[in-house]
Structure 1
Amino acid sequence: MAERLDVIIFGATGFTGKHTVYEAVQVLKDFKWEIAGRNKEKLNGVLREMGEKSKTDLTNIPTIIADISDEKSLKEMAEKCKILVNCCGPYRFYGEAVVKACIQAGTHHVDVSGEPQYMETMQLKYNDLAKENGVYVISACGFDSIPADLGTVFLENHFDGVVNSVETYLETWEAGGATGGCAVNYGTWESAVYGLAHADELRGIRAKLFESRLPQLQPRLKNRSIIHKSAIINSYCLPFPGSDRSVVMRSQRIMYENEKKRPIQMKAYVGFRSLIVTLGVAVFAAIFGILTRFSFGRNLLLKYPKIFSAGMFSHEGPSEEKTEKTRFSMTFYGEGWPKEEKLAEPTDQYKTTPSKTIITKVTGKNPGYGATCVALLVSAVTVLKENDKMPGNGGVLPPGAAFAKTNMINELRKYENGMQFDVVSIKEKSVE
């Protein structure tokens, strides 16, 4: 059998795929990689376009023809590489066939899904088989789950004690503009529509996937009011509707089960500087939620994304100028106890309130494509270079659990469209 390539980028002609090809020029410069998709002409077009943008000759990068509807082509593609970077979403419809082909071929797999139903179904159906075949399948390897999950790992690593709870606050804005803008494509909108429409599926999936609950540790981290003013970021906040919390809590469960580590409680919020904008987003979210319940409502949302998202989403995708101007910050507020107060067992209950706090941040630019694509590729490289530092010998994992003991956070800092992880403050407070 011929020696395998290091990386194949599948779905390279899509919006996320072609930006991943652009970032691969730097991130994969020391690796052998190819691109794959359904149409050879379009694949060559991506290589020309991204070659011109990066001022690099990419004509020597081979192309592979593979189609989601052709199981044989997927298996043949997977057998050619050590790790497959899957950019072909929505993963609810197109993800499982690729995961299955990778596990059969003994090939690692990473993607940028933010779809809890897909991610948790893959863990339910394929975790044991992935372990048997020594394959890592890792989803949520982009914005915003990489900042949330690895950001929680970063916070705990710098806490020097026992973390009880973490609250995250996401802000996005255009350079020189107001908060609240984030340049993302139609595929993300489509995933959100179907994800919310079928949210009830999660209860049944989780009942099978998680046979027991995590320990109910005290003090409990309560939900804040739907609209509240946060002193942490000096902004008005709403509950964040994405998959961040589900991804982080899956990592916490795996660490608890594998390492007997006290699980961290987590809540996620999104912040806006204007109360009027916050109220507007809340109204939009309510309308969006109602429309996803009905087929005619979903059709409206999918047909007219620009109208129902106030211009944030469209079939054409965001402009290059808008993506380059977009910035993000995710602020973490953690509470817990100093290391001197660590208890013997992870399920032991503290008799005192948390006496130590920490604030950290993850920041970057171009979250939808720059930061996402860099994070996706750095995830792939980390699996190739540091799988001896990853849990077990394989499995279907979230990124925090997969990469907690690797050097991935430092690797993300190296790239222009990477992410910066910083400690803002650590304080110990008096306990009455």
Structure 2
Amino acid sequence: MAKVDTSSSRPYHIVIFGASGFTGQFVVEEVARIVSEGPNGTLKWAVAGRSRQKLDKVLEQAAGALGKPELRTEVEVIVADVGEPDSLAAMCKQAVIVLNCVGPYRFWGEPVVKACVENRAHCIDICGEPQFLESMQLNYNSQAADEGVYIVGACGFDSIPADMGVLYTREQFKGVCVCVPEGGSINDGTWKSAIYGFADSGKLRSLRKKFGHKPLPVVGSKIKRSALFYSNEVQQYAVPFMGADPSVVKRSQRFLLEEHQETPVQYGAYAGVGGVANIVKMLLAGMMFWFLVKFDFGRNLLIKFPEFFSFGFFSKDGPTRKQMEGSSFQFAFYGEGYTEGQDPSQGQPNAKIRTLVQGPEAGYVATPIAMVQAAITILNEPTALPKKGGVYTPGATFARTTLVERLNKHGIQFSVI
């Protein structure tokens, strides 16, 4: 097994791949803001993508938005194409960490993971697609461990607030926390993930069988919620959350059980949908969704017109900067467990905790913050990471680090309420 390296002499600490995409441009701005947080107070970084012209334009826009004219000349540009393996290899050889912003990941993500593993560059993505995330673990975990490489998926709004929020809730609980239902919000990325996820649900079940995992042990009472229920916690009707969070959290809990013998937390994710009128809209949207998602033409319609088919729950258009400034997200975690000395086998949980993770606009403000701070944590805290490389979740990678404290400093707040 190769030694894990997070501070090599490669030209760049970070290379942002897909920097000219809608999300990538905001990742560029976030990296430019935090260069002083790199190893020894500096950060060497570059942008990468298919078009040098578009990358130059992104740097020019970032320079204007941040008042940093030096970005136009001091940040290097690397031309790389996901369809050209040699260009990906050349890019990865120059980076300690690749921030992969090129999606959808189920179509374009694997070549980047493969190139990173083969060329010993760590990789962070913001994927919200369980099938891609789990298939990368199945196919590349052993090789990543051999090469000493960290491949960390779901490091954006999907699923750092949820995954780290569960760990934060358990850490703050005085005793054994065994159950954390969570209420959250939904965005366009989740809509696309749901479309592809439901269409390929059979493939995901088949993929999971290949791991051969036994069910995680259940401590205390099992979470039981119907598909639609009234939540006393949020005072509105709620439905199961369709994103990657449950899959990611469960994988983190399995890792912490197997590697550190920590009691696994049951986790349920739910989204508030409001009152009866919204429920009717949701049911109509659900029936159309279930019919259309089975067919190629239907999936294309769902992706092209999300606002229409979701009755306004989702929107395809990227927000303006003004809209982003007025947007925010909030996750509430309702934990239950047993106080120290209490035997979980002898009854219902006897203690509760409520925590909150909240922050700025989810897709294009909070996601770049989370992604970049994940990279900064890998660069600065190598001894707190898992002992060997592999394909990991955020919770597995950062459970022993100060990522939560770093996020708090950058506007994604974790608190007990």
The counterpart of 2:107, out of the listed 93, 99, 102, is 93
Aligned to 1:428: none
In the superposition, the TM-score normalised over structure 1's length comes to 0.89
Amino acid at match of 2:68: T
* Separation (CA, whole Å) in 1 of partners of 2:83 and 2:172: 46
Residue correspondence of structure 1 range 298-337 to structure 2 within 5 A: 298-310=299-311, 316-337=317-338
Aligned to 2:340: 339
Residue correspondence of structure 1 range 250-269 to structure 2 within 5 A: 250-269=251-270
Aligned to 2:371: 376
Contact 1:91 1:113 in 2 (8 A): yes
Aligned to 2:381: 386
* Separation (CA, whole Å) in 2 of partners of 1:311 and 1:171: 14
Please state whether the residue corresponding to 2:242 is helix, strand or coil: coil
Residue correspondence of structure 1 range 1-150 to structure 2 within 5 A: 3-29=10-36, 30-57=42-69, 58-59=71-72, 60-150=74-164
Q: Which runs of 5+ in 1 are unaligned?
A: 173-181, 343-348, 425-432
305 and 219 in structure 1: CA distance in 2 versus 1, 3 angstrom threshold: closer
Contact 1:238 1:278 in 2 (8 A): no
Contact 2:10 2:93 in 1 (8 A): no
Aligned to 2:349: 354
Q: 1:4, CA displacement in angstroms? A: 2.9
Contact 1:161 1:338 in 2 (8 A): yes
Count of residue correspondences: 403
Q: 1:319, CA displacement in angstroms? A: 2.6
Provide Cα deviations, 1:178-236, integer angstroms capped at 9, x if missing partner: xxxx5x4xx664443222211111111111124322224431111x2222221212222
Please state whether the residue corresponding to 1:350 is helix, strand or coil: helix
* Separation (CA, whole Å) in 1 of partners of 2:283 and 2:241: 11
* Separation (CA, whole Å) in 1 of partners of 2:191 and 2:183: 21
Aligned to 1:192: 194
The counterpart of 1:395, out of the listed 390, 393, 397, is 390
Alignment root-mean-square deviation, CA? 1.9
Aligned to 1:411: 406
171 and 275 in structure 1: CA distance in 2 versus 1, 3 angstrom threshold: farther
Please state whether the residue corresponding to 1:298 is helix, strand or coil: helix
Amino acid at match of 1:422: S
Contact 1:121 1:205 in 2 (8 A): yes
Provide Cα deviations, 1:20-70, integer angstroms capped at 9, x if missing partner: 111112133431111000000000011111221112121121110000000
In the superposition, the TM-score normalised over structure 2's length comes to 0.92
212 and 72 in structure 1: CA distance in 2 versus 1, 3 angstrom threshold: same
* Separation (CA, whole Å) in 2 of partners of 1:282 and 1:147: 28
Q: Which moved further from structure 2: 152-161 or 268-277?
A: 268-277
Please state whether the residue corresponding to 1:370 is helix, strand or coil: helix
274 and 339 in structure 1: CA distance in 2 versus 1, 3 angstrom threshold: same
Aligned to 1:423: 416
Amino acid at match of 1:267: G
Amino acid at match of 1:232: E
Please state whether the residue corresponding to 1:56 is helix, strand or coil: coil
Residue correspondence of structure 1 range 100-249 to structure 2 within 5 A: 100-171=114-185, 182=187, 184=188, 189-222=191-224, 224-249=225-250
Provide Cα deviations, 1:117-162, integer angstroms capped at 9, x if missing partner: 0000000011111111110000010114111100000001100210
* Separation (CA, whole Å) in 2 of partners of 1:422 and 1:127: 33
Aligned to 1:430: none
Amino acid at match of 1:124: L
* Separation (CA, whole Å) in 2 of partners of 1:259 and 1:149: 17
* Separation (CA, whole Å) in 2 of partners of 1:54 and 1:286: 45
* Separation (CA, whole Å) in 2 of partners of 1:216 and 1:312: 34
Aligned to 1:295: 296
Provide Cα deviations, 1:315-371, integer angstroms capped at 9, x if missing partner: 6523333222221110000111112236xxxxxx62221111000000011111100
Amino acid at match of 2:386: P
Please state whether the residue corresponding to 2:217 is helix, strand or coil: coil
307 and 386 in structure 1: CA distance in 2 versus 1, 3 angstrom threshold: same
Q: 1:171, CA displacement in angstroms? A: 4.0
Q: Which runs of 5+ in 2 are unaligned?
A: 1-7, 37-41
Q: Which moved further from structure 2: 154-163 or 333-342?
A: 333-342
Amino acid at match of 2:113: V
190 and 270 in structure 1: CA distance in 2 versus 1, 3 angstrom threshold: closer
Provide Cα deviations, 1:89-115, integer angstroms capped at 9, x if missing partner: 000011110001001111100000010
Aligned to 1:175: none
54 and 281 in structure 1: CA distance in 2 versus 1, 3 angstrom threshold: farther
* Separation (CA, whole Å) in 2 of partners of 1:72 and 1:383: 26
